[in-house]
C-alpha cells in the first residue's frame, strides 16, 4: 500500500510518550523490571497456545514463513505505517474483552462476545499463501474456522448480497488512528458468495497460538485468493448489506485498489507490475499465480466478469 501524498513518518514519531512514561514507572517499581524490559525488546513475543486445533483443508505444503517474520513485518496502519511499527506500537492495544456486533440484513442481529462467537466452532489449521498488493508474500499456518459457518448462525436474509467488516476504532489504543493516514475505521467487504466460500476463514491464531495484536487479534478475516488488504484485522462489526459497501483502500485510491482485489498477475497496479512477488525470506522473486494459486477453487465465482475492469 502506499500513501504518496503523506510526508514519510517514522515509528518513533508515533510512539506514545505517556505509554513510555507509564512503562518506565512500572519497571521502576517492580523487581522483575530488568527481565520484563528484556522480554519487551524481543518484539516477536509468543502468545497463548490454542488447544484442539485439527488440520483443515486447502493447506499448501510450501515452506512456511518464520514466526518472527510473520509477527514483525506487518501492515496494520492503525499501529503505524512502517512494517515494523505494528509490533512496536501494540503495547496499548487491549484485545480482551472483545465483542462483535452483527447488523443489517439478517434474522438474528445482536452483539456477541468473542468467546461465544468462536466457541461453537472447531479450530482448524490452514496453511495459506498471503500475497500483499505491494509485491511481497508469505506462507502462514493460520488457525481459524470457515467464515460461512459463523455467518450462517445469524441467518442472513435474501437481501444480503454483501458482507461488510469494520475494524475497532480506538485512537487511545491505536496511535495510527490519531493520524489522517486512512479514513478510519478501516472497512472491508466481500460479495456474499465470496464470504461463504469454503476457502474464506475467520482467523483467531497462527502457528498454533492466539493472534498477536499486530496480526489482527483477536479475530480477522483471511481471504487467500485476494490481495492482503481484503483480510481485515481486529473486527468489531459484521454487517449484511444489499448494496456494495465502500471499502477503505478503494476509497483512498480508487484507481489503484479495487473492490475485488483478486490476485492477478495479468492486471498490473497503475504504478507497478503484479507479475512477480518476493516471498519473504527468499532472494529471487517468483511468479505470481492467478488467484494466488487458488484458481481451481475460485475462478468460477468470476465467470464472465472482465477482471481488468473489476480489479
Ligand atoms: N486490517 C486493518 N484493520 N488495517 C490494515 O492496515 N492491512 C492489510 C490487512 N488487514 C490492514 C488490515 C494489508 S495491506 C495486509 S497485506 C494484511 O493485513 C497483512 O496482514 P499481516 O500483517 O498479518 O501479514
Tens digit of pLDDT for each residue in 172-189?
999 999 999 999 999 999
Select the more confidently predicted residue: 4 or 108.
108
Determine contact, residues 234/168, Cβ cutoff 8 Å: yes
**What average pLDDT does this structure show over 221-226?**
99
pLDDT value at residue 1: 72
Q: Is the CB of 186 under 6 A from ligand 1?
A: yes
Cut 0.85: pTM above it: yes
227 lines ligand 1 (CB under 6 A): no
Tell me which H or E stretch contains 35.
helix 33-41
C-alpha cell at 68: 518472527
Is the separation of the CB atoms in 119 and 50 below 8 Å?
no
Closest alpha carbon to 262 in 234, 232, 289: 289
User: In terms of residue numbers, what domain contains 276?
Assistant: 11-298
In a domain, 310, yes or no: no
Number of domains in the chain: 1
The whole-number pLDDT of residue 153 equals 98
Is 125 inside any structural domain? Answer: yes
Q: Which three cell numbers stand for residue 38?
A: 528484556
Question: Is 78 close to ligand 1, i.e. is its CB under 6 Å away?
Answer: yes
Q: What CATH number has the domain bearing residue 206?
A: 3.90.420.10
Contact 252, 243 (CB under 8 A): no
Per-residue pLDDT of 28-62, as tens digits, reads 444 443 333 434 443 567 899 999 999 999 999 99
Grid coordinates of 310: 473489476
In 3-state terms, what secondary structure has residue 84? coil
Q: Is residue 1 part of a domain?
A: no
| pLDDT score of 122 more than 50 | yes
Ligand 1 close to Cβ of residue 232 (< 6 A) = yes
The CB of 74 under 6 Å from ligand 1? The reply is yes
Any domain includes 308: no
Confidence of residue 3 (pLDDT cuts 50, 70, 90): low
Q: What is the mean pLDDT of residues 127-148?
A: 98
User: Which of 6-10, 76-80, 232-236, 273-277 shows the lowest mean pLDDT across its residues?
Assistant: 6-10
Query: In this predicted structure, what is the pLDDT of residue 5?
Result: 44
The reply to whether 311 falls in a domain is: no
| Residue 238 included in any domain | yes
Cell of 44: 516477536
> What is the reported pLDDT for 9?
39
CA of 222 to the centre of ligand 1 (A): 10
119 CA from centroid of ligand 1 (Å)? 25
Q: What share of the chain is helix, strand, coil (3-state, %, to 5)?
A: 25, 25, 50
Residue 4 resides in a domain: no
In a domain, 306, yes or no: no
Amino acid at each position: 500500500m502506499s500513501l504518496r501524498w503523506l510526508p514519510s513518518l517514522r515509528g518513533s514519531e508515533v510512539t506514545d510518550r505517556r505509554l513510555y512514561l507509564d512503562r518506565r514507572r512500572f519497571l521502576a517499581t517492580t523487581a522483575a523490571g530488568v527481565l520484563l524490559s528484556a522480554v519487551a525488546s524481543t518484539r516477536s513475543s509468543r502468545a497463548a497456545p490454542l488447544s484442539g486445533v485439527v488440520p483443515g483443508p486447502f493447506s499448501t505444503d510450501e515452506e512456511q514463513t518464520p514466526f518472527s517474520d510473520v509477527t514483525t513485518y506487518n501492515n496494520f496502519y492503525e499501529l503505524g505505517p512502517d512494517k515494523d511499527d505494528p509490533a512496536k506500537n501494540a503495547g496499548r492495544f487491549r484485545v480482551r474483552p472483545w465483542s462483535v456486533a452483527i447488523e443489517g440484513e439478517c434474522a438474528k442481529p445482536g452483539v456477541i462476545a468473542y468467546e461465544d462467537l468462536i466457541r461453537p466452532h472447531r479450530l482448524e489449521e490452514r496453511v495459506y499463501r498471503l500475497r500483499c498488493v505491494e509485491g511481497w508474500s508469505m506462507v502462514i499456518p493460520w488457525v481459524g474456522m470457515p467464515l460461512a459457518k459463523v455467518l450462517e448462525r445469524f441467518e442472513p436474509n435474501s437481501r444480503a448480497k454483501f458482507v461488510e467488516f469494520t475494524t475497532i476504532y480506538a485512537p487511545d489504543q491505536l496511535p495510527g488512528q490519531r493520524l489522517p493516514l486512512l479514513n478510519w475505521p478501516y472497512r472491508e467487504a466481500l460479495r456474499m458468495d465470496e464470504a461463504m466460500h469454503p476457502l474464506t476463514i475467520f482467523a483467531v491464531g497462527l502457528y498454533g497460538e492466539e493472534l498477536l495484536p499486530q496480526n489482527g487479534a483477536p479475530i480477522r478475516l483471511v481471504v487467500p485468493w485476494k490481495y492482503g488488504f481484503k483480510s481485515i484485522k481486529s473486527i468489531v462489526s459484521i454487517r449484511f448489506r444489499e448494496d456494495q459497501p465502500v471499502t477503505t483502500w478503494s476509497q483512498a485510491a480508487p484507481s489503484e485498489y479495487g473492490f475485488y482485489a483478486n490476485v492477478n498477475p495479468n492486471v498490473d497496479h497503475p504504478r507497478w507490475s503484479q507479475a512477480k512477488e518476493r516471498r519473504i525470506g527468499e532472494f529471487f522473486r517468483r511468479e505470481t499465480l492467478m488467484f494466488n494459486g487458488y484458481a481451481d477453487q475460485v475462478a468460477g465465482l468470476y465467470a464472465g466478469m472482465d477482471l481488468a475492469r473489476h480489479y
